[in-house]
Amino acid sequence: MRLDKHLHQCLGISRSQASLLLRAGRITVNGTIAKSGSLHVNEQDVILFDDDSLQTPGENLYYYMLHKPQGYVCANADANHPSITQLFDLPRADELHAAGRLDVDTTGLVLVTNDGQWSHRVTSPRKQCEKIYRVWLAEAISDETRKQFAEGILLRSETQPTRPAQLEIVTPREVLLTIHEGKYHQVKRMFAAVGNHVERLHREQIGELALDANLPEGDFRVLTAKEISLF
C-alpha cells in the first residue's frame, strides 16, 4: 500500500494533506523520515506520526504469548542457537518476530507477532512499559541493594543511571524485579553492578500482561482481543 493511502486510512485526511505532513518531516517509517507518499509500506513497517504509532485494522495480523525455554534466541536467525520461531508450527512462522527479546538462557514471557506497529508500542522507550522478572542470585540480597535499585543503578559503560526499579525480596537469593526500560542485558548488569551474579532469570510480566500460568514451557497461545488492546 502507498504511504499516502495509509495516512488517509489512519488519519482521515486527503492525499494533499498527507503530502504536507510528509514534507514537514512528521512521518517516519522504520525510524527514517519519509518524504514521498508513493513509498510502499506493509503491515510489518513501523509508521509514526509525531512519534505516535499509526495503524489501520488489518487482516493476517497475529499475536501470541510464548513461554520461552532456555536455549532459544529471540532473533529470527542465529548461527549457534535455534530461533523461537521454530517453536511455532505455523505457516509463515518465519514472518513472526519477538516484541521485546530475552537472552538465550532466559526463560519466560515473550510476545510474538507479525505486527510491527503493535510491537513498537510494546517496546518503545517512550511508553516505559514495565517488565517483571523473577531472579535467582548467587549471593544473598540485602535491603541496601533494594534501596540502590530504587534510586537507579549506574551500569558499566553507561553515563546515566537506570530508571528507579522495584525489588521485592522473596528469599535471600530469590527476588522479583520490576524495571521500566530495556537496556542491553540490563537485569544481569544491574546485579553485577552491586557485586552479585544472576544464576537464573525468568520474565513473568510485560505491562499488565502476565505469563499464563497454564502455558507449558516451549508452548504458545493466541492473545485475546483484550490482551492485544493492553498495548
- Residues annotated as catalytic are 103
Cα Rg of the chain (Å, integer): 20
In terms of Cα–Cα distance, which of 155, 142, 137 is closest to 196? 137
> Which three cell numbers, joined as nine digits, stand for 62?
497475529
List 132's β-bridge partners, or say none. Answer: 178, 205
Q: For 116, how many CA atoms within 13 A lie in the half-sphere containing its CB?
A: 13
CB atoms within 10 A of CB 113: 23
Print the SS3 string covering 146-187: HHHHHHCCCCCCCCCCCCCCEEEEEECCEEEEEECCCCCCHH
DSSP of 68-120, one letter per residue? EPTT-BSSS--SSS-BGGGG--STTGGG-EESS---TT-EEEEEEES-HHHHH
